[in-house]
Amino acid sequence: MRQFFTFLVFCCLLGSPFAKAENTTARRIVSLAPHLTELVFSAGAGRWLVGAVSYSDYPAAARKVPRIGDAFQVDYEAIVGLQPDLILAWEGGNPAQIIERLRGLGLRVETFAPLRLEDVAAHLRRIGDLTGQLQPANEHADRFLEVLTELRRDYSRRSPVRVFYQISFEPLYTVGGRSYITQMIELCGGRNVFVGIRELAAVVGIEAVLERDPELIIAGLDSVEDLATEWSRWRDISAVATNNLVVVDPSLTGRASLRLMDGARQICTALDKARRTQVDSPPSR
């Protein structure tokens, strides 16, 4: 450990011996977020991934990549030991102090801030450029945007459905208006009942949910039975009364990767089911 801290001082004073020129094609990559790990593989650069954080479990090959911590705490010694020429960081997800400390070690860190659904394609193209894999990256990015356009064309003008997206039950977490999950709901013609929340995610009270009376509740849980059990006490909620309770894989809706379109398809299907029961639901508020 003492030798490691001596090495850190050396890096700070003289520059990291592992640092590469900004325009150098990356061949030793560390990812600090599961969705960035996915994008590296989608770009065709997975063979150059030498380190990743916990929950980097897709595709299957990602599970074999050495772990260097999680999105909020990393092992600096392990990262330095991997001699990366590129670190991919999640701006707004990874703590700023981690990014700055890695840069202070002379390591090249590129940040990505996914705020819109279209950003997935843009970030994939950028990773393709950084790794010299522009052709496969562009092909996948183009297809992602095609599906996005198709879903928006087919669903966005259908009758609106009030949607509550549940991240967890205790505490009761949901997404705000700036979340790309909200954009997915709107893509399918839905309306996030908590669109007015400024934060990406926030805790809300059950009374607030009752007041907004969602016609569809979407959640990432183990099973729809669990979801039905949790909400069975509030039969006055339209979604509960009509059994419009849907479970989706949170990795399909919570990660800014190509699989967001798989999640969007599930949400669109759930909204269509809810529309078919609207005739028996209370009038929209």
Instruction: Check which CATH number belongs to the domain holding 91 and give it.
Output: 3.40.50.1980
Distance in angstroms (rounded) separating the CA atoms of residues 206 and 194:
12
- Does 147 map to a domain? no
Structurally, the chain folds into a number of domains equal to: 2
If asked whether residues 84 and 25 sit together in one domain, one would say yes
Q: Which residues contact 176 (CB under 8 A, 6 or more apart)?
A: 182, 194, 195, 196, 197, 198, 199, 200, 201, 202
94 and 35 Cβ atoms separated by less than 8 Å: no
If asked whether residues 28 and 74 sit together in one domain, one would say yes
The predicted model scores a pTM of 0.86
CB atoms within 10 A of CB 14: 9
User: Residue 161 is part of which domain span?
Assistant: 156-280
Q: What is the mean pLDDT of each run of 10 residues along the chain (285 residues)?
A: 40 42 81 98 98 97 97 95 97 95 97 95 98 97 98 93 94 93 96 94 95 95 77 94 93 94 96 83 49
How many residues are listed for the chain in this entry? Answer: 285
- Does 266 map to a domain? yes
- In tens, the pLDDT along 107-127 reads 999 999 999 999 999 999 999
If asked whether residues 185 and 270 sit together in one domain, one would say yes
Q: What is residue 85's predicted lDDT score, i.e. its pLDDT?
A: 95
If asked whether residues 109 and 175 sit together in one domain, one would say no
If asked whether residues 44 and 68 sit together in one domain, one would say yes
